[in-house]
Structure 1
């Protein structure tokens, strides 16, 4: 796989990904995550799922 060159302004050790959510799911996440906490909530949910399904 070819490496992607990151822009100079990009954060180190992180990559932006576009993801599509069903409207109802997005509304539920935004409701429980609170204003300004969407990314943090989604990342924590992913980490919780990974800890249950894999041994890293």
Structure 2
């Protein structure tokens, strides 16, 4: 059984109310996202896609 995991303190350049996650995307997935998102920032497109997926549940 795991003991309580201590949260690391946020760095000074991080915002409250959000968490930074590193994720690796397959090349073909990035190409498909880039073709679809046009001028929309990559991170914004990914967040929108995640929200749409959660609404479908």
Q: TM-score range by the shorter chain?
A: 0.7 to 0.9
May I ask how many residue pairs the two structures share in their alignment? 53
1:51 aligns with 2:55: yes
Structure 1 length-normalised TM = 0.80
User: Which one has a bigger Cα radius of gyration?
Assistant: 2
Pairing of 1:25-40 with structure 2 (within 5 A): 25-35=29-39, 37-40=41-44
Q: Which residue of 2 aligns with 1:2?
A: 6
* Runs of 4+ more than 3 Å apart: none
Write 1 or 2 for the structure with the bigger share of helix: 1
Where in structure 2 are there 5+ consecutive unaligned residues? none
Q: How much does 1:35 deviate?
A: 4.1
Where in structure 1 are there 5+ consecutive unaligned residues? none
RMSD value over aligned CA atoms? 1.3
